[in-house]
Amino acid sequence: MIRTPAGRLFWARRLAQMVLVVLSIGTVNFLLLHLAPGDAAQVLAGESGSASPEYLAALRRQFGLDRPFPVQFGHYILRLVTFDLGFSHRQGLPVATLILDRLPATLLLMSASIGLAVLLGGALGFLAARRAGGLADALISGLALLFYATPVFWVGLMLTVVFAVWLDWFPVGGMRAIGATSGPGAILDIAHHLVLPPTTLGLFYMATYTRLMRASVLDVQDRDFVRTARAKGLADGRIAWRHVLRNATLPIVTTVGVQVGSILGGAVLVETVFSWPGLGRLAFEALFQRDLNLLLGILFLSSILVGVANLAVDLAYARLDPRIGLQG
């Protein structure tokens, strides 16, 4: 795929597209945040209690907030291109340091959620389609509809109440127990913390993929090539795995690519509910503190994350479906 000249051209074009998209998103982010009233200087001055106009002006000068808008914007874009995310005056640390500190937690939460949603949703949807019209189908479809309709924050709260408070099976929040050691014990500790948050975030998407997979399998099952496979005398298992599932997975992959962005958005909520030390909570705090640099940095990184995820989906798609890949 990548080895052929056409393949190389395709991926080069996709990469250029991604850079362009990320830069455009950066621009929009910058404009949006400048349209919102208030800046970091106001918040800082308000908190210190001495909000004299002189103090404010001094703060603004210090942060470069007093310069004309085009200059600020030019600086911002220049810094984006060089991956210099600036300094968070609120936290007193470089933005890059803050983000890199939180990134692993969010990536862990997201991949666990997506993994759960895709694997479980795919399996349930497949099962429902194979037993279409039966009891298992009715049960699975009913559950999927229920999870699909339930708000994520409510699921989070209820899971906490039942499994963390009443049953005390899992911790209420956080990613590690206080005073946890490193080594294998730490991995188990994180895994223990990593049950409720991805379940909360993943249930909605699991429901989506269950419904999608069910519809997709039912569609593929009636295609001519499945009849051909049966006419060849293949065993039912091989037809289901090799012929039906392989084709039915394609829409799921597409949808995951589209939804990575919204899963990242959902992570903000879940991280807040479970005090998960990830990017989402950092963004939440930055927003309330008018920490413009930090917020822009997080948004910039998010757009890169989504862009990379989409690129990965394209790559996966080209591997799964030989008809796709080289057409730009």
DSSP label at 160?
A: I
- Residue 328 contacts by C-beta under 8 Å, 6 or more apart in sequence? 9, 10, 13, 14
Among 204, 181, 170, smallest CA distance to 274 is for: 170
Among 292, 297, 295, smallest CA distance to 43 is for: 292
Geometric angle at alpha carbon 268, from 265 and 273, rounded to 5° = 140
Q: Which of 37, 50, 232, 237 binds other proteins (CB under 8 A)?
A: 232
CA-to-CA separations, 127 to 6, 13, 220, in angstroms, rounded: 39, 39, 14
Which of the ranges 119-127, 191-199, 255-263, 318-326 carries the binding residues for other proteins, by CB under 8 A? 318-326
Q: How many residues bind other proteins (CB under 8 A)?
A: 22
Say if residues 129 and 218 touch (Cβ distance below 8 Å).
Answer: yes
Q: Which of 229, 252, 256, 268 binds other proteins (CB under 8 A)?
A: 229
Q: Which of 49, 166, 237, 323 binds other proteins (CB under 8 A)?
A: 323
The site string for other proteins over 187-226 (x = CB under 8 A, - otherwise) reads ------------------------------------xxx-
The yes or no reply on residue 134 touching other proteins (CB under 8 A) is: no
Within 10 angstroms of residue 319's Cβ, the number of other Cβ atoms is 12
Q: Which of 247, 259, 293, 310 binds other proteins (CB under 8 A)?
A: 247
* Shortest separation between residue 319's beta carbon and other proteins, angstroms: 10
d(CA 221, CA 230): 11
Between residues 1 and 320, which has the closer beta carbon with respect to other proteins? 320
Q: Which of 8, 13, 34, 246 binds other proteins (CB under 8 A)?
A: 246
Which of the ranges 11-19, 100-108, 184-192, 316-324 carries the binding residues for other proteins, by CB under 8 A? 316-324
Residues that bind other proteins (CB under 8 A): 223-225, 227-236, 238, 242-243, 246-247, 320-323
